Amino acid sequence: MDQVDIAIIGGGVIGSAVAFNLLSLDPKLSVMVIERDPTYRTASSALSASSIRQQFSTPINIAMSQFGMTFLKDIGTHLTVDDEAPDIALVESGYLYLATERGASTLSQNFAIQRQAGVDIALLEPAALAERFPWLSTEDLALGALGLSGEGWFDGYSLLQAFRRKARSLGAVYVTASAIGFDQDRRGITAVTLDTGRKVACGKLVNAAGPQAGQVAALAGIQLPVRPEKHCVFVFDCKEAPQGCPLLIDPSGVYFRPEGRFFIGGPPPQPAADPDDEALEVDYHLFEDVLWPALAARVPAFEAIKLVSAWAGHYEMNLFDHNAILGTPPDLPNFYFANGFSGHGMQHAAAAGRGVAELVLFGEYRSMDLSLLNFDRLLRNEPICELNII
């Protein structure tokens, strides 16, 4: 039987960020990352729209994004390997949240929380919005919140590979397999059985399995409310493209942003017929029936757009409160969760990776207090109310 100090199930951006931080904190550790698909063809990390914002309604999510943006801006310091710094194509063009009269009060309340947390943001009335973004239809708007710095988008696949490459350079071993069973005793989980027939003994185990996290937790007899939820992303072209465009969140729930010479966008979350369905077929009717009408109503130039391509990826949805689940369950003190990011995993990977690594090694969070996100809130039935969910 193989023996490692720490095994991590899931080698996406979260698992690789945990591995990197563990070995940065203690280079003598033996760390194994168990990843079912090293091509990442269907991985959430590879199929993400990969954006980062500070416009959350809860201080914990704001702080994680602030940590993440600082990390991304200085990524060469953290993730350079063999004098080669990763290029994640970071674009700091901000988010623009729009609200009608119905949502203006909530937007104002969020703005106050964000400003108190040090977010660089402006609250704009319709006249100011029209002056700044002349391509925007503002007739039904009451307010807009614009991130002036610290928000934007990046190449998520490059970030995943940068974490993975750095973790491997520090000694992490990646194996291609899926976990199919655990050995347990009074101390917790003692070994992981893989579908290759291999068994790996471990001192500690991290669940970073993304949309499959609930299935992995079930192997230990734990009910973790994390399921895959499909989101479709559409790439479109516009001949008279709006200039100076941030990532815009419409009151309808539709979003869009520039992507090179094109744009990408998506509809609001759609109810899943089967919460365990892992199929990734694109629902093209959403473009015609939901996305395009909302785009054209908000940006008149988008009445004439051309669909270029599309893809579908999974959020690892936390059905309890749509926020990350960290920490350990009461009866398995060596089984750590890094799950349920619900679409925030790419932007919060740096903070979560650091926090989970500190919890594994020191039994406490040191860089920032993430205890509000611990698993025990589920047992107490105390959900975190995050209003800005995309």
Instruction: Give the pLDDT score at 363.
Output: 97
| Rounded Cα distance, 54 and 320, in Å | 22
Please report, in tens digits, the pLDDT of each residue of the chain (390 residues total): 799 999 999 999 999 999 999 999 999 999 999 999 999 999 999 999 999 999 999 999 999 999 999 999 999 999 999 999 999 999 999 999 999 999 999 999 999 999 999 999 999 999 999 999 999 999 999 999 999 999 999 999 999 999 999 999 999 999 999 999 999 998 899 999 999 999 999 999 999 999 999 999 999 999 999 999 999 999 999 999 999 999 999 999 999 999 999 999 999 877 666 666 678 999 999 999 999 999 999 999 999 999 999 999 999 999 999 999 999 999 999 999 999 999 999 999 999 999 999 999 999 999 999 999 999 999 999 999 888 676
Instruction: Give the pLDDT score at 270.
Output: 73
Instruction: Give the pLDDT score at 187.
Output: 86
40: left (phi over 0), alpha (psi -120 to 50) or beta: left
Report the SS3 class of residue 159: helix
| Rounded Cα distance, 291 and 248, in Å | 13
Instruction: Give the pLDDT score at 386.
Output: 86
State the virtual CA torsion across 351, 357, 360, 361 in degrees, nearest 10.
Answer: -130
DSSP 289: I
Question: Count of H helices and E strands in the chain?
Answer: 12, 18
For the question of whether the overall pTM of this predicted structure is more than 0.85, the answer is yes
What CATH number was assigned to the domain covering residues 95-151+230-313?
3.30.9.10
Cα–Cα distances in angstroms (integers) from residue 342 to residues 242, 315, 320, in the given order? 30, 5, 11
Instruction: Give the pLDDT score at 272.
Output: 64
Name the residue ranges covered by the structural domains of the chain.
Answer: 2-83+155-225+320-379, 95-151+230-313
Residue type, 25: L
DSSP 287: I
| Secondary-structure class of domain 2-83+155-225+320-379 per CATH | alpha beta
Instruction: Give the pLDDT score at 69.
Output: 98
E strand intervals along the chain: 2-9, 31-35, 51-52, 95-99, 121-124, 143-147, 152-153, 173-176, 179-185, 188-194, 199-207, 226-238, 247-249, 255-259, 262-266, 305-318, 325-327, 335-339
Exposed, middle or buried, 330 (CB in 10 Å: 0-12/13-18/19+)?
A: exposed
Please give the structure tokens belonging to residue 163. 């974490």
The torsion angles phi and psi of 127, rounded to 5 degrees, stand at -65, -40
- Say if residues 314 and 231 touch (Cβ distance below 8 Å): yes
